[in-house]
Amino acid sequence: MAALQRRGNKWRAKIRIPAELRASYGRQFEQKTMQALDRRSARLEADAWEITLRADWASRTPQPNTSRQVLRQLHETLLDMALGGNFNVHGASEEDPRELGVGYELDKLQEQTEGRELTPEEEVKLAALQDAAAVLRGKRPARRKELEPSFSETAAEYIELWSTQSGLKQSNTRQQKEATFRLFADYISDRPLREVRQVDAASFMDALRRFDPHWARSPAAKEMSWKALHREYGHHPKGLADATLNRHVTTLQELWKWGEQRDRCTGRNPFSGMRKRLTPGKNVASYRPWTIDELKVLFSPPPKRTDLAEVMQVALFTAMRLDEIASLTFGQIKEEDGIRFIDVIDAKSPAGIRQVPLHGKLQWLAERKGAAGDRVWPSFNPEGPGKKPGADAGKDFSNFKIGKGFDDRRKVFHSFRKNVTKIMERAGVLENEWAQVLGHERGFTYKRYNADGITMQRKADLIALIDYPGVTFPVPE
């Protein structure tokens, strides 16, 4: 914001020139004496001057979105000044001095620009004065398409508000939404949301459908334009999964609904009706458990990284999620009624907060010693927005299983949970009981009338059912 200082009976505004433009100015600051005599009016005048300057500076650098935003601010400030009486002219008649002042400013602008094209700043000033005149006559100003927020500006506002909602857990959801918005903004040349039509949405989704499923794994992809991405990754024979496309469509649908409530767009949501119905086994590839023979391959020999081999064993004998294991601290390993268990305190849902007894094959874990807040496997680097180590461990496991010859996308670390669930189903364990160990929501009746759930001993009995005949696991130290 421009600094405002009093000089005698005048006010002077001072603003620092951007470092990259100081050489062309030959100085570090730009200064101007305001016409207004009172501080409030001088402040408004200084704000308008500053916005004009920043619009000029933005036009000298390749930042069209910033320029549009600054011009919009200039329009709003000049409109406020005109309606607030900063341009008042008092005549002999009973006409509104604000109207006379706006008329005078319009005449002055016409004289100053006669015979040449208006600069973007002058066009905005003309629009602001014309809009002020309309308001003073009791009319509604016309919408200025050239001052509409760009798609990326609207998306940024939406993300900023979305991220403030209470109870939002750290995840990569924000990054996924931002990636969707970046792709679509580039696809439509960052036009305003109001100008998005159904044909834009349909053609974008058609093109996105053909993208390589692994395109986002490349660090370089984050800096590539839509055209470059389409050229590099847009001709895959199978393309993206329907579930992935649904995520993109839902994100864009939500933005349209949000924008409609704020008069950024009107009419039928162009992204409606584009979600694909997901049917397991048809267009949804569910994770599958590892077979006994596959487990033998995974552990013969086991991973060279002992920490990775250990978390794999923990998953097979607890059905815990990868990040729950990789984030495990010594303080979470507890004992109750002579039963050692893992206290899962940070899960993806309330149902995931649970106690998982240690299997006989995992008693070595209870013997490990360390400070309560220290992680059992500190070598996995915290990654992602939530700074969780599961992503690092997941990458290592993915590389390990591919090295073993397993490239089926349905066979992943999460498949270890499927292994344990398969054992429970074949043992006839009630779904409501196993849900309390697995970390899933229980049925309404059991949850409502038996809030305490099953006992720790019963949980230990269920865990003891887990067995993998013929698989040799390394014995951790």
For the stretch 423-466, pLDDT in tens is 999 999 998 888 888 886 655 444 444 555 789 999 999 999 99
For residue 124, what are its two tokens?
A: 């905005």
22 plus 120 within the same structural domain: yes
Asked if residues 305 and 390 have their Cβ atoms less than 8 Å apart, the reply is no
Asked which of 84, 119, 147 is the last residue of a domain, the reply is 147
57 located within any domain = yes
161 plus 112 within the same structural domain: no
Q: Which of 169, 173, 144 is nearest to 74 (CA)?
A: 144
Res. 397: pLDDT tops 90: yes
Asked if residues 56 and 15 have their Cβ atoms less than 8 Å apart, the reply is no
327-341, 413-427, 439-453: least confidently modelled range: 439-453
Which amino acid, residue 462? L
Torsion of the alpha carbons at 116, 120, 126 and 128, rounded to the nearest 10: 180
336 plus 433 within the same structural domain: yes
Q: What is the largest CA-CA distance in the chain?
A: 104
97-101, 170-174, 296-300, 471-475: least confidently modelled range: 170-174
Q: Of 98-102, 118-122, 202-206, 367-371, which has the strongest mean pLDDT?
A: 202-206
Give me the residues paired with residue 336 across strands: 339
313 plus 172 within the same structural domain: no
308 plus 452 within the same structural domain: yes
* Position 254 confidence tier, pLDDT thresholds 50, 70, 90: very high
Residue partners of 84: CB distance under 8 A and separation at least 6? 41, 44
Better-scored residue on pLDDT, 300 or 386: 300
Residue 344: Cβ-neighbour burial (10 angstroms; 0-12, 13-18, 19+): buried
226 plus 176 within the same structural domain: yes
Asked if residues 439 and 321 have their Cβ atoms less than 8 Å apart, the reply is yes
- How far is Cα 206 from Cα 202, in angstroms, rounded to an integer? 6
Asked which of 105, 124, 147 is the last residue of a domain, the reply is 147
Average pLDDT over residues 243-270: 94
436 located within any domain = yes
316 plus 223 within the same structural domain: no
Helical spans, DSSP H, in 85-213: 97-113, 120-136, 151-162, 173-187, 198-209
Asked if residues 349 and 441 have their Cβ atoms less than 8 Å apart, the reply is yes
280 located within any domain = no
* Position 58 confidence tier, pLDDT thresholds 50, 70, 90: low
383 located within any domain = yes
For residue 51, what are its two tokens?
A: 């916005």
Tally of domains in the chain: 3
DSSP 8-state symbol, 163: T
Q: Which of 327, 303, 290 is nearest to 416 (CA)?
A: 290
Reported as type and span, the H/E element at residue 354 is strand 354-357
Dihedral sign, CA of 281, 286, 291, 293? positive
The tens digit of pLDDT for each residue in 11-56 reads 899 998 888 788 888 888 899 998 888 888 888 888 888 877 776 6
Residue 277: Cβ-neighbour burial (10 angstroms; 0-12, 13-18, 19+): exposed
250 plus 385 within the same structural domain: no
The tens digit of pLDDT for each residue in 313-328 reads 999 999 999 999 999 9
25 located within any domain = yes
Cα atoms in the Cβ-side hemisphere of radius 13 Å centred on 332: 22
| Containing structural domain, residue 329 | 292-463
352 plus 454 within the same structural domain: yes
The label of the residue with tokens 């403030």 reads 164
* Position 339 confidence tier, pLDDT thresholds 50, 70, 90: very high
- How far is Cα 404 from Cα 302, in angstroms, rounded to an integer? 10
Q: Which of 62, 52, 50 is nearest to 20 (CA)?
A: 62
Res. 280: pLDDT tops 70: no
The tens digit of pLDDT for each residue in 189-236 reads 999 999 999 999 999 999 999 999 888 878 888 889 999 999 999 999
141-155, 202-216, 361-375: least confidently modelled range: 141-155
CATH number of the domain where residue 322 is located = 1.10.443
Strand order in the sheet with 3-7: 3-7, 10-16, 29-33
277 located within any domain = no
286 located within any domain = no
**Helices 64-84 and 151-162 sit at what angle, rounded to 10 degrees?**
80
Quick one: the chain helix, strand, coil %, rounded to 5? 55, 10, 40
276 located within any domain = no
157 plus 139 within the same structural domain: no
Residue 380: Cβ-neighbour burial (10 angstroms; 0-12, 13-18, 19+): buried
Asked if residues 383 and 391 have their Cβ atoms less than 8 Å apart, the reply is yes
Average pLDDT over residues 346-374: 85
| pLDDT at residue 448, rounded to an integer | 47
- How far is Cα 54 from Cα 76, in angstroms, rounded to an integer? 15
Asked which of 127, 147, 167 is the last residue of a domain, the reply is 147
Torsion of the alpha carbons at 168, 169, 172 and 176, rounded to the nearest 10: -20
The tens digit of pLDDT for each residue in 134-144 reads 999 999 888 88
Average pLDDT over residues 84-110: 85
31 plus 91 within the same structural domain: yes
Whole-angstrom CA distances from 314 to 39, 96, 175, 309 are 69, 80, 30, 9
Q: Which of 132, 108, 136, 134 is nearest to 122 (CA)?
A: 108
365 plus 411 within the same structural domain: yes
